[in-house]
Structure formats: structure tokens, C-alpha cells
Amino acid sequence: MIEHKMMWAGYCLQKEANSIKGGGNREIRFHALFVLLEHPQYGHILFDTGYGSYFYEATEVFPYSVYARVTPVFINEEDTAKSQLLKLGIKPEDVSYIIISHFHADHIGGLRDFPEAKFVCLESAYQAINKRTGIMALREGFLPKLLPDDFSDRVMFLREKTFSDEFCPFTYYYDVFGDKSILAFALSGHASGQIGILSGKRFFVADACYHSDAYRKMLPPPLMVRMLLGSNREYLRMLSILHAFYQKHPDIEIIPSHCNEVVRKYA
Ligand SMILES: [Zn+2]
């Protein structure tokens, strides 16, 4: 089993009611998770990066400025993944791979800080944002300036599916390094081609749900939010799959990227 460590880089403010059925009117923090995984052969690997300091630059001009206005974001240089890793003695160029759940700004905000990393994602996630600019990018929650210029040279797509009922109701997974240390699962719905990763007894599900209560009690965000961000039908289908997974695999901990219960437990 490989070691992993959860950390958070920045946060945004949103009404709780926008993120879960029955949520209150108060504003809550959505901390942006990234995970450091230590692979015996491939070294330091990240799952997402959280926000990065490029966010402000990327949202300076219209229409990208709309993103910053609708979603107030707070990120200091010292809170970025790069700075937090440096404090652990890990240099940016020593990060070998970054597994990208999806291309929203709170998941890819730090990509440009890691010049040697190869990027791993589903091709459908990349195609949904590739070459999109302006309103078309914004519709996908994507800020083009966050992507390194040489992204297309460094990306590797997950292609080979392993069909198995070991993690039912999922019917297949992607064995990222071919050694079963990190398994990726397709979690579409919130964003095209979103993936989560299972490592050891933790299943990082990105934004397939926002709160732990969402997969435990089947509490989706409101229809408006589901429609705005992805496919409503897919979102609900994926949430019911996660709910069934939770019931069938009580030994595996499901970790949504922005759940405050998880932050309180592990931060
Ligand atoms: Zn997202």
C-alpha cells in the first residue's frame, strides 16, 4: 500500500444550500483538496492541486472575471500545493505525475507550478476543455490560463480498462501504474470525464458529491447547480452508485474534495 497525505490549497465561499439538499442559507468554505501519494517506483504523485496563485491573474479580464465574482476565492502563495510541498522538502520538479480529476479551477490551479510532472486524466475530460476560451470555457468552469503551455505534450490518457466486480457497483477501473496501487474510476456527471482514485482504503471522489452526507443519505445539490455544472441525469446516477458503493464497501472511506467533515478530521 502506498502512503498518502491530504492537504488543502485555498478555498472559496458558497451558500451551503447550493451544495446539498436541505443545506442552510449561510456561506461555508469549500476547501480545495489535493493529495500527495508516495509511490515506491514513481515517487511523488499528486491527485489534483487545489487552487493556485494564478487564479487571480486568470480571472483578471472578462468573461473570466465572472468566475471570480460568482465564486469568491481565497488563496495565498504560502497555501499553494507548491509551497506546502516545499515545506515537506519536496521540490516542484520532483513531482512526477499529477492525476487530474477534472479541469475546474479548484482542482488544476497549481498545474503550472510543476514543470516536470506528467498529467494523467481521461481524454474526454481534456476534450471537453481543449481549445475552449471565453464563454465556452467558462461554461465548463475552465480558466485557460491555468493550463501549462506544454500541457498537450505532457498529458497521458487513461485508456486500458480492467473489468472487475471487486468494486461493485463499478464495473471497471483504470490501473494507473499497472500495479493496483492507484485505481482510477470514471465519475462523470459533475464534469465531463471526471475521475476519482482509490488508493489503499481511501476513495477520493473529487466533486462527485460535495459532502459526506451527500453519498450517505443521497442528498444531491439543487437541480440548478447540477444543470449548471454538468449532466443532471449523470450526476444523480453517479451519486446513487456512490451510495451503493458506500453500503457494499464499509471498509473503504469515501473522500469528497470539499467536505468540511473530512477537513476537520484530517487537516
Ligand atoms: Zn468541480
Q: Measured in angstroms, how far is the CA atom of residue 53 from the centroid of ligand 1?
A: 18
* Residue type (1 letter), 112: R
CATH 3.60.15.10 corresponds to the domain 3-266: yes
Q: Measured in angstroms, how far is the CA atom of residue 52 from the centroid of ligand 1?
A: 15
Is omega for the bond preceding 40 within 30 degrees of 0, making it cis? no
Q: Measured in angstroms, how far is the CA atom of residue 158 from the centroid of ligand 1?
A: 19
Element of type H or E holding 238: helix 232-248
Q: Measured in angstroms, how far is the CA atom of residue 207 from the centroid of ligand 1?
A: 5
Residue 10 region by backbone torsions, left for phi larger than 0, else alpha for psi between -120 and 50, else beta: left
- In angstroms, the Cα distances linking 22 to 71, 91, 112, 118, 119 are 21, 43, 38, 40, 37
Q: Measured in angstroms, how far is the CA atom of residue 103 from the centroid of ligand 1?
A: 7
pLDDT score, position 74: 96
Grid cell, residue 14, equals 458558497
Q: Measured in angstroms, how far is the CA atom of residue 102 from the centroid of ligand 1?
A: 7
The CA distance from 123 to 155, in Å, is 9
**Does the predicted model carry a pTM greater than 0.95?**
yes
Q: Measured in angstroms, how far is the CA atom of residue 193 from the centroid of ligand 1?
A: 11
Whether the CB-CB separation of 125 and 103 falls below 8 Å is answered with yes
pLDDT score, position 157: 98
Run means of pLDDT, 10 residues per run, the chain, 267 residues: 94 88 89 97 98 94 92 95 98 98 97 98 96 92 96 98 97 97 96 96 97 94 80 92 98 97 95
The CA distance from 252 to 111, in Å, is 29
Element of type H or E holding 1: none
Q: Measured in angstroms, how far is the CA atom of residue 108 from the centroid of ligand 1?
A: 10
Q: Measured in angstroms, how far is the CA atom of residue 190 from the centroid of ligand 1?
A: 7
Edge-first strand order for the sheet with 43-47 is: 73-74, 3-15, 27-39, 43-47, 95-99, 118-121, 155-157
Q: Is the dihedral of CA 197, 53, 155, 39 positive or negative?
A: negative
Whether the CB-CB separation of 113 and 92 falls below 8 Å is answered with yes
Q: Measured in angstroms, how far is the CA atom of residue 106 from the centroid of ligand 1?
A: 7
Mind giving me the DSSP string for 99-152?
E-S---HHHHTTGGG-TT-EEEE-HHHHHTTTT--HHHHHHTT--GGGS-TTHH
Q: Measured in angstroms, how far is the CA atom of residue 140 from the centroid of ligand 1?
A: 9
Q: Measured in angstroms, how far is the CA atom of residue 115 from the centroid of ligand 1?
A: 23
pLDDT score, position 15: 87
Q: Measured in angstroms, how far is the CA atom of residue 82 from the centroid of ligand 1?
A: 20
Q: Who surrounds ion ligand 1 at CB < 5 A?
A: 104, 207
